[in-house]
Chain A
Amino acid sequence: MSLKAHVKVGRPGFQLDVELEVDEGETVAVIGPNGAGKTTLLRGLAGLVPIEGRVELAGEVLEDSAQKIRVPTERRHIGLVFQDHVLFPHLTVLDNVAFGLEAQGRHDAKQVARRLLENAGLGAKSASMPRQLSGGQAQRVALLRTLATDPKLLLLDEPLSALDVTIRAEVRRDLSRQLASFHGVRLLVTHDPVEAIALADRLVVLEGGRIVQSGTPQEVTARPRSRFVADLAGVNLLRGKSHSDHIKLANGASIAAADAGEGDVFAVIHPRAVALFLARPDGTPRNVWQGETESIDLHGERVRVRVSGPVPLVAEVTSSAVRALHLTAGAPVWIAVKATEVSVYPA
């Protein structure tokens, strides 16, 4: 049982074109900034928006625009969990969970739903209305309602983002456990990297309607191929043309690097490798630029300083260094990076 999909959706000014394969028992997180097309992808797979392309689930063709095949949402055997749960407000928790079973024509829908709720520790909430539930409970009921129908494909749209930050970690653990016990294909979309890394075996990074990178969380964050991933990994990402010992950026600036090879490359510089000075530093660093302090963000003892200049970078220094350097927004500063601290890989 696996999902094979090629989803294309065209809208004025936006084109989604994604090829995706997810195996049974695997959790794939599609991450990307807002507007990347994540929700459209999910709705396309669910059959809620017409797509170009092909969707195949467990050997069954759900959609094939070339052959004009289009299985309607209600016959796709999918489970869709919405960002803000979308529990039916006029039905009790029990009736919500029983809904999908009743749609399948099961006469024991209520009993099954009751047992599911009890097993999930929500038996006491059976007769409650959805508005009486906490955010975490509503999330669990929504997932229960979906899993009750035994779908082949589980689609989760930002499952945790509607929740309070304080309970997110707890619900995330819960969700992780529930996902592990579900034996179909699992696909979630999120813009929250923590959510993605905590829940997924594999990340697919979507930007501007296209996949820019995919791999395990470790692979993706170790070698970012987009600003979005670089930001989530907290590193500086640069792109340019490599000429064996230096990289030429699009704006004309040049960075010295060790063994950079030739051709289009990404260069990653960890903020801890960016050193700041009041005056031009002596010694060996081969990358030295003059710039200006743009902004200063405090993260406890560590401070992230954004500097402009020929190569805009983020530096991570200690708070005592900020005081010693008299760093304020707009202050001039010298920036140095050792060539060996620049890691380079092909674009």
Chain B
Amino acid sequence: MVLAGLGLLFFLLPLAGLIVRAPWDQAIASITAPETATALELSLFCSLAATAVALVLGIPLALVLSRTTGNLRSLLRALTTLPMVLPPVVGGVALLLAFGRRGLVGSLLYQGFGIQIPFTTAAAVMAETFVAMPFLVIAVEAGLRSLDPRYEEAARALGAKGWMVFARVTLPMLRPAIFSGAVLCWARALGEFGATITFAGNFPGRTQTVPVAVYVALESRPDSAIVLSLILLAVSLVILVGMRDRWLGALWLGAL
């Protein structure tokens, strides 16, 4: 009991600190300050873009995952969930090595088309996608696995071809899983820091998302760091309360 209480306290104290030390009188001013607003806007854009990319790439990936078996499945699964356990900084370094100006793919892009990815907004979106997409893939795959295959069989027996089965039966029935996966993915993308600062850097208005801004502001403008932290905390709380058992359930299911 005592240990449990200590554990709970350990979680709550930092949050309490955040709330107690928040400069409430200046909160509005801090949020509307140009640099804060820019970071918020950029964060919103990047996290939504990352979620969109994750939806486009992650749903097909989940489909493939749910339809493979055996060793191949274990391998694919380990690969897709790797970013969840990988330290985000390492993810950022890896992205640099792949898409940097001298990276595997990056060098081709730079020499061939003059395209340079690192330290751009696109890099921030890529970093967030890299870290957040596994959450979507796992949620959607869990949804696919709990889907009764007979619905698809019934559709096929009624004469529906592959694409129609997917568009009219599989996808609509997956809606709850896709929704919770997307929200989870978005929340993770919104809070992404390590991979972003490594791969995209810290350029206000271009790659300086809220978490990066918090880190930077902590030295120079601690008040605004606290306000930004509170905003992130509020977002997390809203998501947690709004989705309660749903995504947790999906995640536990996916972890099995």
Residues of A that sit less than 8 Å from B by CB? 46, 48, 72-80, 82, 86, 88-91, 99-100, 102-104, 145-146, 149
- Assess whether B157 is in contact with A99, with CB atoms less than 8 Å apart: no
- Assess whether A103 is in contact with B164, with CB atoms less than 8 Å apart: yes
- Assess whether A100 is in contact with B169, with CB atoms less than 8 Å apart: no
Please name the residue on chain B nearest to A155 by beta carbon. Answer: B157
List chain A residues, Cβ under 8 A from B155: 88, 99, 103
12 contacts between A and B (CB under 8 A): A48-B153, A76-B157, A80-B154, A86-B153, A88-B155, A90-B172, A99-B158, A99-B160, A103-B158, A103-B164, A104-B159, A149-B159
B164 CB to nearest A CB, Å: 6
- Assess whether A145 is in contact with B158, with CB atoms less than 8 Å apart: yes
- Assess whether B169 is in contact with A88, with CB atoms less than 8 Å apart: yes
List chain B residues, Cβ under 8 A from A82: 150, 154
B173 within 8 A of A: yes
Whether A74 contacts B150 in the complex (CB less than 8 A), given A88-B169, A89-B173, A90-B173, comes out as no
List chain A residues, Cβ under 8 A from B161: 74, 103
Assembly CA distance A94 to B217 (angstroms): 59
Assembly CA distance A278 to B161 (angstroms): 70
Assembly CA distance A91 to B175 (angstroms): 13
Please name the residue on chain A nearest to B172 by beta carbon. Answer: A90
Assembly CA distance A330 to B154 (angstroms): 52
- Assess whether A74 is in contact with B156, with CB atoms less than 8 Å apart: yes
What are the 6 tightest A-B residue pairs by CB atom distance, in nearest-first order? A100-B158, A80-B157, A103-B159, A103-B160, A73-B156, A86-B154
- Assess whether A74 is in contact with B153, with CB atoms less than 8 Å apart: no
Please name the residue on chain B nearest to A73 by beta carbon. Answer: B156
B67 CB to nearest A CB, Å: 15
List chain B residues, Cβ under 8 A from A78: 157
Please name the residue on chain A nearest to B168 by beta carbon. Answer: A99
List chain B residues, Cβ under 8 A from A80: 153-154, 157
Assembly CA distance A94 to B241 (angstroms): 36
A114 CB to nearest B CB, Å: 17
B166 within 8 A of A: no
Please name the residue on chain A nearest to B154 by beta carbon. Answer: A86
B153 CB to nearest A CB, Å: 6
A175 CB to nearest B CB, Å: 18
Whether A46 contacts B159 in the complex (CB less than 8 A), given A86-B150, A86-B151, A88-B169, comes out as no
Whether A73 contacts B157 in the complex (CB less than 8 A), given A82-B150, A86-B151, A103-B164, comes out as yes
- Assess whether A79 is in contact with B172, with CB atoms less than 8 Å apart: no
Please name the residue on chain A nearest to B160 by beta carbon. Answer: A103
Please name the residue on chain B nearest to A46 by beta carbon. Answer: B157
Please name the residue on chain B nearest to A90 by beta carbon. Answer: B172
B176 CB to nearest A CB, Å: 10
- Assess whether B160 is in contact with A74, with CB atoms less than 8 Å apart: yes
Please name the residue on chain B nearest to A43 by beta carbon. Answer: B153
Assembly CA distance A77 to B158 (angstroms): 8
Besides A88-B169, A100-B160, A146-B158, 7 new A-B residue pairs in contact (Cβ under 8 A), listed by A number: A74-B156, A74-B158, A80-B157, A90-B172, A90-B173, A90-B175, A99-B168
List chain A residues, Cβ under 8 A from B164: 102-103
Please name the residue on chain A nearest to B169 by beta carbon. Answer: A88
The 0/1 profile, CB within 8 Å of A marked 1, for residues 130-173 of chain B is 00000000000000000010110111111111001000110011
Assembly CA distance A117 to B159 (angstroms): 20
Assembly CA distance A289 to B212 (angstroms): 93
List chain B residues, Cβ under 8 A from A146: 157-158
A95 CB to nearest B CB, Å: 9
A24 CB to nearest B CB, Å: 20
